[in-house]
Each structure stands twice: as structure tokens, then as C-alpha cells.
Amino acid sequence: MKIESHTLNNTNIAEIISEEIIINNAADGLDLLGNLYYQGFDKIMIHEHNITPDFFDLKNGMAGEILQKFSNYRISLAIIGDFSAYQSKSIKDFIYESNKGKHINFLNSTAEALTKQG
């Protein structure tokens, strides 16, 4: 895993670069959050392919548990990817509602995420 650092408007943003799944469960999400928080990052960008597909099955509660931690610590999260493969109405509604706010966003590209988070 590589962490690419971006700075916009005095805000430190970490972009996770990896070919592997980084978040397999809620504990992995909290570990990532804690590690990056203590390295001084205010916002995090991670690619959809770095998160287990189970995250996108809202019935198991993993997404809610992980995203609640980000909210509690006031760390913004952008998940970057193509979410068209997830066809359930619940995940589509979840993504839509998340994107209305500024704290948790599901975006198509790193450039879009930097614009939204910066």
C-alpha cells in the first residue's frame, strides 16, 4: 500500500494506492482511519477495488459501521470507482444520499474527489 499525499487549501488528503483489498472488515477500516489520522491527514480517498465487495452489501452492516467511525472522527472519506455494478436499490440510494453531503462521497475519479474534498 502506498499513500499519496495531496494538499488543498491547507487540508492534507491521503490517497490510498494499492492493487490489493485494504478494507476486508470493519476493523481494517478503523485501522486505516487511525493510522492516517495520526499521520496528520484530514481526508482520505480510497478506490472501490481496495474495499471488499461485502462493504457494498448494506444488509451486513459493514458500510454503516465503517462510515460511522469516519463520521465520529470527523475524517472525510471519498470512495473512488465505478459503482454501476452494484444494482440494489438500497446501495444506489445510499450512494445518492451520501453524495448530497460533504463527509462521505462516492465519486468517479481522483480528480472529482480532489475537487469535492478540497
Q: What is the total count of domains within the chain?
A: 1
Among 17-31, 44-58, 104-118, which stretch is predicted with the lowest mean pLDDT?
104-118
Mean pLDDT, range 72-84, rounded to an integer: 95
pLDDT (tens digit per residue) in 89-116:
999 999 999 999 889 999 999 999 998 8
Q: What is the rounded CA–CA span in Å between residue 3 and residue 15? A: 6
Judged against a pLDDT cut of 90, whether residue 59 lies above it is answered with yes
pTM of the full predicted structure?
A: 0.94
- The range of the structural domain enclosing residue 15 comes to 2-117
CATH of the domain at 19: 3.30.750
32 confidence band (pLDDT: 50, 70, 90):
very high
